Copies of this chain bind each other. A is one copy, B any other.
Amino acid sequence: MRYSALLTDLYELTMLAGYHDQGMHERPAAFDLFFRNNPFRGGYAVFAGLDNALSFLEDLSFDGTELAYLESLKIFKPAFLSYLSDFRFRGTITAPAEGTVVFGGEPLLTVEGGLAEAQFVETALLNIINFQTLAATKAARIKVAAGDATVLEFGLRRAQGPDGGLSCARAAFIGGVRSTSNVLAGMQYGIPVRGTHAHSWIMAFPDELTAFRTYADQFPNSCVLLIDTYDTLKSGLPNALVVARELKERGYHLAGVRIDSGDLAYLSRQVRAAFDEAGFPEVQIVASNELDENVIESMRREGSRIDIYGVGTRLATCAGVGGGALGGVYKLVHMDGEPKLKLTSDVAKATLPDRKKVLRAIAPDGTFILDLIALKDEEILPGALVFDPANPVQHVRIPEQARLIDLRQMVMKNGSRCAPTPDLESSADLAAQQLQLLPEGCLRLVNPHIYKVSISTGVNTLRLKLMNRVQSKYRN
């Protein structure tokens, strides 16, 4: 799929026109893309969307229809439209790998290039990275809550538009939800697709047993029966038991049953007991109906017997406290060789100026100790003093025995990918590994442990200096 170059806010184009007219469009600039707070008031986020973002950048150009539309707006000069007809992104992108566990305040993408190109891509990059990172994080929370159970994403019908469903399936895979009902996501991203039948299948036959038998005949190797159309325990369960016996006689086995209403925890225990008693311990129980990480955690706590959670609406729309949208922003941090800082009314929220790197301090046992945002060329060694960005007098030392790794790498140079693109499976594996290495309590769904994200002496000093300079200029 080609992303249109017009997938942008008009103000990116008006600014671009202004920079072009002023001859400023090629002046060197750097922007950071980051979010301030972990989504869902949680302890982490899972970075996703990079591959799509890079595809957007690689393909970025204005076609004839798009240029004609811009001309019709009658706000752009011919010289600018002619510049746009040759416009390409030729900048540099530094980013973590998809699946990396990241935290509020850390630069995710750093975009370096001419002022015009680096500014212009803001809206599309935010759109792609914000939603996929949000969805990967939601999926990770759900998978963590589900423990060893499988989670299936099937939110397409409630997703925010066709692509909401597609992007979500991709990001959810990275977060740990490794199958989907979305057939297009299956084709486009190679995600395993799953599905059985709806209540309407049952209603299309004279009775439930006939509907079950017909479905089992069709898919004897992968038959999952939806047992709550009429009455889960009085009708669906006994009929499913009949079909389980019939399949067994024919050398197959019933793959599972799905419960989509009622008290899922209670029903799952009853259904489990009935299948076990009848000699079908292999029949899996699928549950669905407005599930999310909180419902799953609470059902597991009370001893539900669910093997597969089908999660729809609340995953597809990233619902929940602090959910719905990731508040990613895109800020100018460097231009013409000078660091740049954006103040806000809350001083603790002033941006981190200059081009930077993100280091992770790792303990000898592999667990994560803290992340550190340092200047790009600043030397950081174990033992170094690091500061709390919200409170510059608070500081700690990186433990001497820690190992420091750079979380990001250059993935695009002069507009072309310059690093291999990992497949989705690797990204999902990376996320699963990293989630296990977080400090205890970071995975907690509510009021989690807050992982420490610090800034280096270099960033702290530069930021204070620039804050004083801006404040003395504008606030006296």
Interface centre among A14, A166, A215, A327 (most CB of B within 10 A): A14
Tell me the bound Cα distance from A198 to B122 in angstroms: 11
Q: Which residues of A contact B (CB under 8 A)?
A: 3-4, 6-15, 17-19, 21-22, 24, 27, 29, 31, 65-66, 69-70, 73, 75, 115, 119, 122-124, 126-128, 130-131, 154, 156-168, 181-184, 186-187, 193-201, 203-204, 207-208, 214-215, 218-219, 222, 229-231, 234-235, 261-262, 313, 316-319, 324-328, 330-332, 335, 340, 342-345, 470, 473-475
- Other-chain contact of A9, B7, B21, B156, B475 (Cβ < 8 Å): B156
CB-CB < 8 A to A183: which residues of B? 6-10, 13, 69-70
Known: A131-B160, A159-B131, A164-B161. A184 touches B6 (CB 8 A): yes
**Closest residue on chain B to residue A319 by CB atoms:** B324
B196 touches A156 (CB 8 A): no
- Other-chain contact of A167, B22, B161, B194, B474 (Cβ < 8 Å): B161
Tell me the bound Cα distance from A156 to B12 in angstroms: 12
New contact pairs (18) apart from A12-B195, A119-B200, A127-B159, CB-CB < 8 Å: A4-B187, A7-B156, A7-B184, A9-B183, A13-B183, A14-B219, A15-B200, A18-B218, A27-B204, A122-B198, A160-B164, A160-B318, A164-B164, A203-B335, A204-B332, A230-B474, A231-B474, A262-B345
A203 touches B157 (CB 8 A): no
CB-CB < 8 A to A162: which residues of B? 3, 7, 124, 127-128, 163
CB-CB < 8 A to A215: which residues of B? 18
Q: How many copies does the complex hold?
A: 2
A sample of 22 inter-chain contacts (CB < 8 A) reads A6-B184, A9-B157, A9-B195, A14-B197, A15-B197, A15-B200, A15-B201, A19-B204, A66-B187, A123-B157, A126-B158, A127-B157, A127-B162, A128-B162, A160-B160, A160-B168, A161-B167, A200-B332, A229-B342, A230-B475, A234-B474, A261-B344
**Closest residue on chain B to residue A65 by CB atoms:** B187
CB-CB < 8 A to A17: which residues of B? 218
B11 touches A197 (CB 8 A): yes
A157 touches B130 (CB 8 A): yes
CB-CB < 8 A to A70: which residues of B? 183
Tell me the bound Cα distance from A347 to B197 in angstroms: 23
Tell me the bound Cα distance from A75 to B127 in angstroms: 36
CB-CB < 8 A to A128: which residues of B? 161-162
A201 touches B159 (CB 8 A): no
Q: Would you give the shortest CB distance from A23 to chain B, in whole angstroms?
A: 11
Tell me the bound Cα distance from A113 to B183 in angstroms: 23
- Other-chain contact of A10, B193, B231, B474 (Cβ < 8 Å): B193
CB-CB < 8 A to A130: which residues of B? 157-158
CB-CB < 8 A to A200: which residues of B? 15, 31, 119, 330-332, 342
B344 touches A325 (CB 8 A): no
CB-CB < 8 A to A158: which residues of B? 126-127, 130, 325-328
CB-CB < 8 A to A18: which residues of B? 197, 201, 214-215, 218-219
**Closest residue on chain B to residue A134 by CB atoms:** B160
Tell me the bound Cα distance from A9 to B198 in angstroms: 11
List 4 tightest A-B contacts by C-beta distance, closest first: A10-B195, A11-B195, A163-B163, A160-B160
Interface centre among A27, A160, A200 (most CB of B within 10 A): A160
B160 touches A29 (CB 8 A): no
CB-CB < 8 A to A122: which residues of B? 157, 198
Tell me the bound Cα distance from A3 to B166 in angstroms: 12
Tell me the bound Cα distance from A249 to B245 in angstroms: 90
**Closest residue on chain B to residue A3 by CB atoms:** B162
CB-CB < 8 A to A198: which residues of B? 11, 15, 119, 122
Known: A6-B184, A164-B164, A234-B474. A204 touches B115 (CB 8 A): yes
**Closest residue on chain B to residue A68 by CB atoms:** B187
Q: Would you give the shortest CB distance from A86 to chain B, in whole angstroms?
A: 19
Tell me the bound Cα distance from A327 to B155 in angstroms: 11
A324 touches B331 (CB 8 A): no
Interface centre among A29, A164, A230 (most CB of B within 10 A): A164
CB-CB < 8 A to A324: which residues of B? 313, 317, 319, 324
Tell me the bound Cα distance from A186 to B13 in angstroms: 13
B342 touches A313 (CB 8 A): no
Tell me the bound Cα distance from A250 to B21 in angstroms: 20
